[in-house]
Amino acid sequence: MIETRGLTKHFKDVRAVDGIDLTVAPGELVALLGPNGAGKSTTLRMLTTLIPPSSGTARVAGFDVVRQQREVRLRIGYIGQGNGAGHSQRGRDELISQGRAYGLSVRDARTRAGRLVDSLGLAEVADRRVSSLSGGQRRRLDIAMGLIHAPELLFLDEPSTGLDPQNRANLQEHILALRAEHETTIVLTTHYLDEADSMAERVIVIDHGRIVADDSPARLKAEHVGDRIVLGFDAETEAARAASTLAAYDPGREGTRLTITTQGAPRRVPGMLDDLRAAGHPAAEVEVIRPTLDDVFLKLTGRSLREGGAAQEPANSTDELVEV
């Protein structure tokens, strides 16, 4: 569905996108994750024909984004960061003219607009001026605009930025439902970790215009960070003895606490606890910390996404995790 080779964009001296090779198969739901300015949106803007690449090639829905723009445009839907619907227009009018832009007859455009208005819960506001709608309503209208021609491939640029958590969850549900129904291929950019984590089967981490990782959220976490098991003991001496019992796991000790980095922690913990009890120094408390995509990002780039890209260490991270 998407195939890029060495896709690059520079603005004056800045390499916003620096040689991206990306392949997306039909039906995939891919999230491009990265801090602001990482090159996610610029990549999307090249794939949607909005800006020409400085070098490299991209084929989208089977066509070249530079030489066959019209063919590409006919097959994709795009929901940008702004509002697709004009603020002085009415939602339903905009949906219909959007349908007309894709060559639907007036009747088909009207029917599809009506169906989208219903399924996205916009029935009450579709005939009001767009400027009078709430942020969440406008965003759902934007989604409807992007879907009027039932595209095989849908791009969403930061779809939930600026929405409150409830509207965000609502929007994610709509996107997932839509995908289940139409088998649409979806590429979205986000800097919300939970969004990438819960929605996408495949997360592509982008930093400084390059792809630094590309896998399922679960595998990214397992491969780059792993789980952490934190064991607490009543005394330092016990902790020290426990450390030798569990030497195979290479634990790090800090006072009365042992930290073990491993994979599949939930399955290992019961065995560890049994070993410690059998050795006569049972753990007083235990905590299993599953990694987040932010931990992955931190590991890969040395920066936290949550801190807006600043070189800061999240509270739940240990020093060894910060090293790159």
Partner 1 sequence: MTTLITDTRTVFSRELRPVLRDPFTIIFSMVQPLVFLALFAPLLPGADALQWFVPGIIVMSCLFASSMTGSNLLFEIQTGSHERMLVTPLRRPALLIGRALKEIVPMFAQAALIVAVCVPFGFRFNLAGALLGLVVLATFCIGLGALSYTLALAAKNQEWLFWTVQQTLIFPLLLLAGVLLPIENGPGWLRALAKGNPLSYVVDAERSLFNGDIWTSATVSGVVAAAAVAALGLWAGVRAMRRSD
Task: Using CB under 8 A, list all residues that contact partner 1.
Answer: 11, 45, 48-52, 70, 73-74, 76, 78, 80-90, 93-94, 97-98, 100-103, 142, 145
Nearby residues of 107 by Cβ (< 8 Å), 6 or more positions away: none
Q: Which is nearer to partner 1, 89 or 111 (CB)?
A: 89
Question: Least distance (Å) from partner 1 to the CB of residue 313?
Answer: 35
Judged by DSSP in three states, 30 sits in strand
Question: Least distance (Å) from partner 1 to the CB of residue 128?
Answer: 12
Q: Which is nearer to partner 1, 66 or 235 (CB)?
A: 66
Question: Least distance (Å) from partner 1 to the CB of residue 92?
Answer: 11
Q: Which is nearer to partner 1, 95 or 243 (CB)?
A: 95
Question: Least distance (Å) from partner 1 to the CB of residue 81?
Answer: 7
Question: Least distance (Å) from partner 1 to the CB of residue 88?
Answer: 5
DSSP 147-195: HTT--SEEEEESTTTT--HHHHHHHHHHHHHHHHHH--EEEEEES-HHH
DSSP bridge partners of 18: 8
DSSP code, position 258: E
- Tally of CB atoms within 10 A around 52: 11
Question: Least distance (Å) from partner 1 to the CB of residue 72?
Answer: 9
- For residue 102, give the nearest of 149, 50, 49 by alpha carbon: 149
Q: Which is nearer to partner 1, 85 or 265 (CB)?
A: 85
DSSP bridge partners of 78: 155
Question: Least distance (Å) from partner 1 to the CB of residue 149?
Answer: 9
Q: Which is nearer to partner 1, 153 or 258 (CB)?
A: 153
In the structure encoding, which two tokens stand for residue 252, read together? Answer: 């790090």
Distance CA 78, CA 65 (A): 14
In the structure encoding, which two tokens stand for residue 235, read together? Answer: 């005394």
Q: Which is nearer to partner 1, 51 or 288 (CB)?
A: 51
- For residue 60, give the nearest of 107, 106, 120, 1 by alpha carbon: 1
Cα angle 312, 164, 90; round to 5: 135
Strands 2-11 and 153-157: unpaired
Q: Which is nearer to partner 1, 40 or 202 (CB)?
A: 40
Amino acid (one-letter) located at 312: Q
